[in-house]
Amino acid sequence: MNRPSADLACSIAGLKLRNPLVLASGVLGTSPTLLERVARSGAGAVTSKSCGPEPRAGHPNPVALPWGGGVINAVGLTNPGIEQEVPLLIEARQILRAVGVPLIASIFAPTLDDFGRMAAGINQAQPDLIEVNISCPNVGDEFGKPFSASADTAAAVTRLVRQHTSIPFSVKLSPNVTDIAQIAAAVEAEGAHAITAINTVPGMLIDAYAAQPVLSNRVGGLSGWSIKPLALRCVAEIYRAVRIPIIGTGGVSCGLDAAEMIMAGAAALGVGAAVYQRGVEVFAQISEELRDFMTQQGYQDLENMRGIALK
């Protein structure tokens, strides 16, 4: 007997997605034509590169390198600054609306107050969802610790963003903490509509022949298949702690990875490093692989599968 094909549609914070695969922030920048290409290639939603209040050149090369376990990068939050970002996002949003794919606009800031200003500024672009990247150093902190490092600073950013925008937003968490569930709960309590987890994992690679780190910045963020178990653990812990949807991100590169992430509690999935590995076709490919897996295993829709590994 042929089973009916599984339904991949999902919704996050009121946004309807034709499938759960979201282009992760920073992987392909913010060019409207590139975002359109990803959307036309089958992504369920696309996220722009994180934008801050001022233009930033980022770090000198080399800034990103594929290796056996995925990718390491220290791009240094290269972006044109909010003033130039808004017209880019308006153009991207118009193109993407025609394709029926939501735009998620990622923001970051160096100080708490700047997060409020960024939320207010990004309103002008009217993205479908805002993603708040808090894995950036807080220059107001004595040690320059990221906002993502504690429940208090994560909650303070969330409160401020909520006060400055009526667009739904997701707070993107770092795995580099002792209790990610506590941070997720604090962010939910302050009114975040979703959580994106995880950002990259701090790491370093050394070229033994050159006797130096491979990145100009020495340390960088790991992404891709080596971080998948860490991402699954984080998503599972967050899922147990909150009721808002999670965009599970980290090491998703095939349909089985996607199924695992949904079984850990994700409502949608970020795809980053796999775009380098499989090209922009990765979104359509993972969708088909996920649909085949679900159909074979008798899952009619994502809701049926979400969090099932934790029961």
Ligand X SMILES: Cc1cc2nc3c(=O)[nH]c(=O)nc-3n(C[C@H](O)[C@H](O)[C@H](O)COP(=O)(O)O)c2cc1C
Give catalytic residue positions: 136
Q: Work out the angle at residue 153's Cα, subtended by the Cα atoms of residues 150 and 158, and round it to the nearest 5 degrees.
A: 120
Left if phi > 0, otherwise alpha if psi is -120 to 50, otherwise beta: which for 186?
alpha
By beta-carbon proximity to ligand X, the closer residue of 121 and 300 is 121
Binding of ligand X by 249 (CB under 6 A): yes
Structure tokens at 210: 């050159």
Binding of ligand X by 174 (CB under 6 A): no
Output the smallest distance, CB 10 to ligand X, in A: 18
Q: Which stretch binds ligand X (CB under 6 A): 112-120, 141-149, 153-161, 264-272?
A: 264-272
Structure tokens at 129: 């969802």
Binding of ligand X by 262 (CB under 6 A): no
Q: Work out the angle at residue 160's Cα, subtended by the Cα atoms of residues 15 and 234, and round it to the nearest 5 degrees.
A: 60
Contact 105, 260 (CB under 8 A): no
Q: Which of 6, 12, 27, 88 binds ligand X (CB under 6 A)?
A: 27
Q: State the binding string over 277-306 for ligand X (x if CB under 6 A, else -).
A: ------------------------------
Output the smallest distance, CB 1 to ligand X, in A: 36
By beta-carbon proximity to ligand X, the closer residue of 67 and 292 is 67
d(CA 133, CA 169): 11
Output the smallest distance, CB 140 to ligand X, in A: 20
Binding of ligand X by 252 (CB under 6 A): yes
Binding of ligand X by 24 (CB under 6 A): yes
**Size, binding site for ligand X by CB under 6 A:** 28
By beta-carbon proximity to ligand X, the closer residue of 216 and 304 is 216
d(CA 192, CA 190): 6
Binding of ligand X by 251 (CB under 6 A): yes
Binding of ligand X by 17 (CB under 6 A): no
Query: How does DSSP classify residue 114?
Result: H
d(CA 110, CA 38): 29
Cα 184 to chain centroid distance, Å, stands at: 15
Output the smallest distance, CB 103 to ligand X, in A: 15
Binding of ligand X by 172 (CB under 6 A): yes
Output the DSSP codes for 144-210.
--BGGGSHHHHHHHHHHHHHH--S-EEEEEPS-SS-HHHHHHHHHHTT-SEEEE---EEEE-EETTT
Interface residue list for ligand X (CB under 6 A): 24-27, 49-50, 64, 71, 73, 75, 77, 106, 133, 172, 199-200, 223-224, 227, 249-252, 270-274
